Amino acid sequence: MNRPSVAVAHSMSRRVRLSAPALRGQRKACEHVARELARGFDLDRVVVRPVTGSVIVQDASSALDPGALVARLEDLLARGLEEDGAALTDEPRDGQSSTRLARALSTAARGINDDVRKALHGKADLASLAPLLLFAASAAEVSIAGKLVRVPWYNLLWYGLRSFLAFNPAAIDDDPPSGS
């Protein structure tokens, strides 16, 4: 049987992040994986992100074995997880597959973003600068014109907020570090 691809993306003694492309776009399968991994290893926290296929495992009481987690996740994926018995695929479902043009634009934007991040020594990237620019533009327009013109400031403010939410899903989904 051909086993689905699972890789260790990051590993520390009590936290492991796995990459499982077969989980992308499959919310029910992600929920099942989270339950099964937590139960099988008696873990404190398991987060599975259907958008990225990322599986984050944490255990405060003992060190984690990344190899055992990979083997268990591959096992779960190989058996198929969906309640209707359908096998998992590497293709996203629910019309979430991207077009060639969307992938090309995404690759170009990612390259520009990487260049900006490198130039700013990792302190900022386009995902944080674009909303700030929109916020600043809305404030400048209102203060310079002394009144609201063509594009109302609240539209720019809304665009800035939506851009921040769209470009920073990981920052929004992640729990803040303890003590912050």
pLDDT by residue (tens digit) across 132-142? 888 898 788 88
Q: Is the domain of 14 the same as that of 74?
A: yes
Residue that has been written with the tokens 């020594």 in this structure = 121
163 and 104 part of one domain: yes
Q: Which of 79, 108, 140 is the last residue of a domain?
A: 79
Please, what is the average pLDDT of the chain?
77
Residue with the bigger pLDDT between 121 and 105: it is 121
Number of compact structural domains in the chain:
2
Do the bridges between strand 54-58 and strand 7-12 make them parallel or antiparallel, or are there none, so unpaired? unpaired
Residue 84 falls inside a structural domain: no
Quote the percentage of the chain above a pLDDT of 90.
4
pLDDT for the residue numbered 171: 63
Is the pLDDT at 1 greater than 80? The verdict is no
- Is 95 a member of any domain? no
* Residue 105 and residue 71 in one domain: no
What is the pLDDT, as a whole number, of residue 73? 85
Rounded Cα gap, residues 110 and 117, in angstroms: 10
The predicted structure's pLDDT at residue 172: 57
* Any domain includes 1: no
- CATH number at 47 reads 3.30.70
Answer whether residue 83 shows pLDDT above 50.
Answer: no
Q: Are residues 29 and 74 in the same domain?
A: yes
Where among 46, 79, 112 does a domain terminate?
79
Residues 70 and 131 in one domain: no
Q: Determine the Cα angle at 44 with ends 42 and 50, to 5°.
A: 100
Do 169 and 104 have their domain in common?
A: yes
pLDDT for 84 beyond 50: no
pLDDT tens column, 51-78 = 888 888 888 788 888 888 888 888 888 8
Q: Please, which pLDDT band fits residue 97 given cuts at 50, 70 and 90? A: low
Percent of the chain with pLDDT over 70: 79
Task: Answer yes or no: do 119 and 149 share one domain.
Answer: yes
Note whether 104 and 169 are same-domain residues.
Answer: yes
Alpha-carbon distances of 57 from 38, 42, 43, 103, rounded to whole Å? 8, 11, 7, 29
Q: Which residue has the higher pLDDT, 105 or 177?
A: 105
Give the Cα separation of 57 and 104 in Å (integer). Answer: 32
Domain of residue 140 covers 100-173
Same domain, 12 and 69: yes
Same domain, 143 and 104: yes
Give the separation between CA 130 and CA 160, rounded to whole angstroms: 7
Tell whether 148 is covered by a domain: yes
